């Protein structure tokens, strides 16, 4: 779509979202769930037109330089549309966070105070090309009472538009404002900058994508951002660890899926157990073809490894490589993790309760694992329900972010002519 | 204090705070409370030296152009030092938010997940000249497990330094790192800019002071900020209001204390009740010498009033002036409030449950009052305990902010060699 006046278009979009958000704040759970179930039906009914739109994206994909794997993720067929519809029904089945009473008290004099969970308002969601994310994000935002402005990747623009048309039409049918779900109708990058300046109309921005995009968004945004840059996750093998458990956990954390943010990138080993543990761990990793870079002291126990550089301690390899260092105790491990890590997910392997306690208290990360793989840090695995992102910040939300993390609260105070004296 | 290398000084201060924060995260409630009670004793014991330091501030005060009222607020004597010590004991008596388990579940396979409340880490607190705030803020931050960097006004620098010396010495005595409480030792304004750039070392900035300072901090800060700019609070008198209750609430909201952020600045009246209500309200306000500016329609019911300008709807007068407008229904009142208000505190006077429900749902403010004065929005009045600030943002914390608002959470996950399959 050509935009003659991009700033005016973006402003109108955000204002419509803000207006819709005020209506959404008062809409009943039943209506929101009806929207989700009607949308699930309507998406399946519109499968032919969605697939047709998807063909346009697939045709353009080679021109965008997409890999075969990326093209496959972009492709929609009726079974994938069924899956998208199924995800909407799963979100319908989750409890509505809105209206939850978080606290309440009657004050001397009879003033009644209730602290109630309410929507954040307007969410600006920036994401990559997978079209299923369009439906998921819309569902999570609207079910939690928020209007959403979706900025999808240009690679999926036709597919996303077809999906949003259905969601928006169903919204109107059940009595939710159509502007509760809006897709940015231009792929012009300047539109992102426009929205990021609107702190009065947008309550939170959630960027998902490469680190470069996320850093740009965090730097430009005038409103809060829910984000994580990377996942440099550690496993620390304590002197009191079970070595075979340690090897199994490291194997899983490093090798089960390498390209994800909760995969292990760095291994720390207590000096007293290094000579015994490192050969066992190295042997396990070598079966997966993992390259090891290590500090000078570890190298003597790791014949195939090469010397790590300072940059390795901060690196997120997202592939078959791991860094290894020896530490003298749990606090040295903690300091290393807090200094070089991403505050994402870090694990200890130990049989000592006190050591585990020190580690879990002092490691400054969204999730800290004891005798478990870093790979478990995931909203679905935790049982938190649908997830819109993950936060390595400490403000507002930390770790997996679902519907509850898209809410705030307000105090509602009821009197009977009460005045302050 | 002269600073040869301001950036290095600020960096060292923030690094010391970060180090202290990691230790503080593991310190027991009993130790933190002991620090508070020992500090209370030590402050009283050091009264003479604190008063001596205060004399230096008082001597410099006329040079800073302080008013008599401001100089009075700056003055310390033994009874005021007793009050400062008493406030520390009150904070010791409050429950420790740290360690609270917010949620927990055992997942299929036996993985145990706990969501635990933990400190934010390092707080940068910027405030004005009243020296009691130095002790209060230090107590709230450290009791909630945070290290604090205090940037007090230059007008109270000697008094604040004397107080912080005591707090810091007592910290070391009980086993809390001295750097848990640090006062910025220079009054150079550039120091604030240095700290605001350190998002890796400081977790939150809380500015208290004039709107100019707060806007500067919000614009420059690279970390989250807890703040409110102003308080343009509304009272809406519905068609189903008790007129005498409305007049009493408006009188209290406007006149009980005019210079505060939860005072009423704007009055909205339903058209159907305006002819009856406005003369009664105007009569009440006139007894307090309040100037009224009003929209054209209201003017006919308000003989002494003058015509409001567009700027009046957004104005925070903090003095004997109020703006008045007529609206056609509760949603028009809501829209006016959401457009022109500060998202701080807004009230409705009505006898209709449904109207109150619409108003409390749709007004986008930290506290919404029904048949009660706006003046009640206050952490102490709500019974939340000691307050470090108030937030009109919706992210992280909203409304009065106490110790709980200086915390975040982390997930602690315990397995027995669990791996993800």
| Cα of A176 vs its chain's centroid, Å | 26
Chain A closest-CA separation from residue B251 CA (Å): 9
Sort out which chain B residues have CB atoms less than 8 A from A113's CB and list them: 382-383
Query: Which residues of chain A are within 8 Å of residue B105 when distances are taken between CB atoms?
Result: 382-383
Whether the Cβ atoms of residue B387 and residue B380 lie closer than 8 Å to each other: yes
pLDDT digits 0-9 by tens, A166-182: 999 999 999 999 999 99
Residue B185, phi-psi category: left (phi > 0), alpha (psi -120 to 50), beta (remainder): alpha
B contact test, residue of A29, A354, A411, A416 with most B CBs within 10 A: A411
φ, ψ for residue B292 (rounded to 5)? Answer: -115, 130
How many residues belong to chain B?
A: 421
Which residue in chain B is spatially nearest to A414 when comparing CA positions?
B370
**Any CB–CB contact under 8 A between A372 and chain B?**
yes
Q: What pLDDT, in 10s, does the model give residues B143-152? A: 999 999 999 9
Average pLDDT value over all residues in chain A: 95
Spell out which residues of chain A touch residue B368, defining contact as CB-CB under 8 Å.
Answer: 410-413
Phi, psi of A108 (to 5 degrees): -50, 130
First to last CA, chain A: 60
Query: Helices then strands (H, E): number in chain A?
Result: 15, 16
Q: What is the pLDDT of residue B385?
A: 82
User: Dihedral sign, CA of B343, B348, B352, B355?
Assistant: negative
Residue A201: which region, alpha, beta or left (left: phi > 0; alpha: psi -120 to 50)? alpha
Nearest CA in chain A to B418: A372
- Say yes or no for a CB contact (<8 Å) between B368 and A412: yes
pLDDT in the model for residue A129? 76
CB–CB contact B368 A410 (8 Å): yes
Write out chain B residues lying below 8 Å of A419, CB-based: 248-249, 251-253, 256, 372-373, 375
pLDDT band (50, 70, 90) for residue A386 = confident
**CB-based contacts of B360: which residues, under 8 Å, 6+ apart?**
A412, B348, B368, B370
Taking CB atoms and an 8 Å limit, are B373 and A412 in contact across chains?
no
- Per the CB < 8 Å rule, is A411 touching B362? no
Q: Which residues of B touch A97 (CB under 8 A)?
A: none
Using a CB-CB distance cutoff of 8 angstroms, which residues of chain B are in contact with residue A361?
A: 25-26
Instruction: With beta carbons less than 8 A apart as the criterion, state whether A350 and A358 touch.
Output: no
CATH superfamily label, A6-226+401-413 = Aldehyde Dehydrogenase; Chain A, domain 1 (3.40.605.10)
Residues 133-192 of B with CB under 8 A from A: none
> HEC string of chain B?
CCCCCHHHHHHHHHHHHHHHHHHHCCCCHHHHHHHHHHHHHHHHHCHHHHHHHHHHHHHHHHHHCCCHHHHHHHCCCHHHHHHHHHHHHHHHHCCCCCCCEEEEEECCCCCEEEEEEEECCEEEEECCCCHHHHHHHHHHHHHCCCEEEEECCHHHHHHHHHHHHHHHHHHHHHCCCHHHEEECCCCCCHHHHHHHCCCCCCCEEEECCCHHHHHHHHHHCCCCECCCCCCCEEEEECCCCCHHHHHHHHHHHHHCCCCCCCCEEEEEEEHHHHHHHHHHHHHHHHCCCCEEEECHHHHCCCCCCEECCHHHHHCCCCCCEEEEEEECCHHHHHHHHHHHCCCCEEEEECCCHHHHHHHHHHCCCCEEEEEECHHHCCHHHHCCCCCCEEECCCCCCCEEECCHHHEEEEEEEEEEEECCC
Task: List the one residue out of B256, B255, B252 whose CA is nearest residue B371.
Answer: B252
pLDDT at B307: 98
Spatial distance between the Cα atoms of B194 and B197, rounded to a whole number of angstroms: 6
Q: What is the mean pLDDT of residues B54-78?
A: 94
Give the tens place of pLDDT for each residue, A341-372. 999 999 999 999 999 999 999 999 999 999 99
Chain B residues touching residue A390 (CB < 8 angstroms): none
Residue B411 sits at the chain A interface (C-beta within 8 Å): yes
Report which DSSP code applies to A309. P
Q: Which fold has domain B233-380?
A: Aldehyde Dehydrogenase; Chain A, domain 2 (3.40.309)
Asked if the Cβ–Cβ distance from B369 to A415 is below 8 Å, we say: yes
Per-residue pLDDT tens over the stretch A20-75 = 999 998 899 999 999 999 999 999 999 999 999 999 999 999 999 999 989 999 99
Distance from CA of B41 to the nearest CA of A (A): 31
Which DSSP category does A378 fall into? S
| In the predicted structure, residue B1 carries a pLDDT above the cut 60 | no
Nearest CA in chain B to A24: B362
Interface A-B, measured as beta-carbon pairs within 8 A, has a size of 201
Q: How far apart are CA B45 and CA B40, in angstroms?
A: 9
Does the beta-carbon distance from A395 to B358 stay under 8 Å? Answer: no
Q: Does residue B305 register a pLDDT over 70?
A: yes
For residue B365, list chain A residues with Cβ-Cβ distance below 8 A: 410
Cβ separation A414–B120 shorter than 8 A: no
Write out pLDDT tens, residues A260-287: 999 999 999 999 999 999 999 999 999 9
Reported ipTM: the value is 0.93
Q: What are phi and psi of B322, to 5 degrees?
A: -145, 150
The answer to whether B384 contacts chain A (CB < 8 Å) is no
Asked if the model's pLDDT at residue B401 lies above 60, the reply is: yes
Task: Tell whether B377 lies on the interface with A, counting CB pairs under 8 A.
Answer: yes
Range B123-135 average pLDDT = 92
Q: Any idea which of A104-113, A215-224, B332-341, B377-386 has the lowest mean pLDDT? A: B377-386
How many Å apart are CA B247 and CA B235, to the nearest integer? 10
Choose, out of A204, A363, A412, A421, the residue to mutate when testing the contact with B (most B CBs < 10 Å). Answer: A412
**Measured between CA atoms, how close is B184 to chain A, in angstroms?**
24
Torsion of CA B40, B42, B43, B45, to 10 degrees: 120
| Cβ atoms of A412 and A116 closer than 8 Å | yes
Q: Which residue of A has its CA nearest to B110?
A: A372
Confidence at B2, pLDDT banded by 50, 70, 90: low
> Considering only residues 237 to 256 of chain B, which have any Cβ-Cβ distance to chain A shorter than 8 Å?
242, 245, 248-249, 251-253, 256
**Res. A1: pLDDT tops 80:** no
- How many Å lie between the alpha carbon of A218 and the closest alpha carbon of chain B? 9
Provide the edge-to-edge strand list for the sheet that holds B291-294.
Answer: A101-106, A112-119, A407-418, B367-372, B345-349, B233-237, B264-270, B321-327, B291-294, B306-307
Q: What's A368's DSSP letter?
A: E
The length of chain A in residues reads 421
Question: Maximum CA pair distance of chain A?
Answer: 80
Query: Between residues B129 and A413, which one has the greater pLDDT?
Result: A413
Q: Among B364, B398, B408, whose Cβ lies nearest the Cβ of A409?
A: B398
Task: Enumerate the residues of chain B whose CB falls inside 8 A of the CB of residue A144.
Answer: none
- Mapping DSSP to helix (H, G, I), strand (E, B) and coil, where does residue A45 land? helix
Q: Is A371 in Cβ contact with B415 (below 8 Å)?
A: yes
Q: Is A2 a residue whose pLDDT tops 70?
A: no
In degrees and rounded to multiples of 5, residue B121 shows phi and psi of 135, -90
Cβ pair B415:A369 closer than 8 A: yes
Contacts of A375 in chain B (CB under 8 A): 419-420
What are the domain boundaries of chain B?
Answer: 6-226+401-413, 233-380
Give the B window 190-209 contacts with A, CB below 8 Å: 203-204
Stretch among A129-138, B31-40, B145-154, B367-376 having the lowest mean pLDDT:
A129-138
Minimal Cα–Cα distance from B87 to chain A, Å? Answer: 21
Enumerate the residues of chain B whose CB falls inside 8 A of the CB of residue A413: 367-370, 372, 376-377
* pLDDT band at residue A224 under the 50/70/90 scheme: very high
Which residues face A411 on adjacent strands? A115, B367
**pLDDT tens by residue, A313-347:** 999 999 999 999 999 999 999 999 999 999 999 99
CA distance B29 to B174: 12
Q: A399 and B411 in contact by Cβ < 8 A?
A: yes
State both tokens at A296: 């000078």
């Amino acid at each position: 779509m050509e935009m003659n006046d991009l700033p005016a278009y973006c402003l109108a979009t955000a204002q419509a979202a803000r207006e819709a958000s005020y209506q959404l704040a008062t809409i009943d759970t039943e209506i929101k769930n009806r929207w989700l179930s009607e949308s699930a039906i309507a998406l399946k009914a519109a499968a032919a037109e969605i697939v047709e739109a998807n063909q346009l994206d697939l045709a353009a994909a080679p021109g965008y330089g997409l890999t075969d794997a990326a093209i496959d993720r972009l492709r929609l067929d009726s079974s994938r549309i069924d899956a998208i519809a199924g995800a909407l029904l799963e979100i319908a089945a989750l409890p509505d966070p809105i209206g939850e009473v978080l606290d309440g008290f009657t004050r001397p004099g009879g003033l009644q105070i209730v602290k109630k969970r309410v929507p954040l308002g307007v969410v600006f969601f920036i994401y990559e090309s997978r079209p299923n994310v369009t439906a998921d994000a819309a569902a999570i935002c609207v079910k939690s009472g928020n209007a959403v402005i979706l900025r999808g990747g240009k690679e999926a623009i036709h597919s996303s538009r077809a999906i949003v048309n259905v969601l928006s039409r169903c919204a109107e049918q059940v009595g939710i404002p159509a502007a509760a779900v809006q897709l940015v109708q231009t792929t012009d990058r300047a539109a992102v900058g426009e929205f990021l300046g609107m702190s009065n109309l947008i309550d939170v921005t959630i960027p998902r994508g490469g680190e470069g995009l996320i850093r740009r968004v965090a730097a430009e945004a005038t409103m809060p951002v829910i984000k994580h840059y990377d996942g440099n996750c550690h496993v620390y093998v304590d002197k009191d660890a079970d070595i075979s458990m340690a090897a199994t956990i490291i194997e899983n954390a490093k090798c089960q899926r390498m390209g994800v943010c909760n995969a292990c990138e760095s291994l720390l080993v207590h000096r007293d157990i290094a000579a015994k543990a490192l050969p066992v761990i190295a042997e396990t990793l070598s079966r997966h073809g993992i390259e090891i870079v290590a500090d000078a002291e570890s190298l003597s126990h790791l014949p195939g490894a090469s010397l790590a550089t300072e940059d390795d301690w901060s690196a997120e390899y997202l592939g078959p490589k791991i860094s290894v260092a020896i530490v003298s105790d749990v606090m040295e491990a903690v300091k290393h993790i807090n200094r070089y890590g991403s505050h994402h997910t870090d694990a200890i392997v130990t049989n000592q309760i006190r050591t585990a306690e020190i580690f879990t208290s002092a490691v400054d990360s969204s999730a800290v694992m004891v005798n478990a793989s870093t790979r478990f840090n995931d909203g679905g695995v935790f049982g938190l329900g649908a997830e819109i992102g993950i936060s390595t910040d400490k403000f507002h939300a930390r770790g997996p972010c679902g519907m509850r993390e898209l809410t705030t609260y307000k105090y509602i105070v009821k009197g009977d002519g009460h005045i302050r004296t």
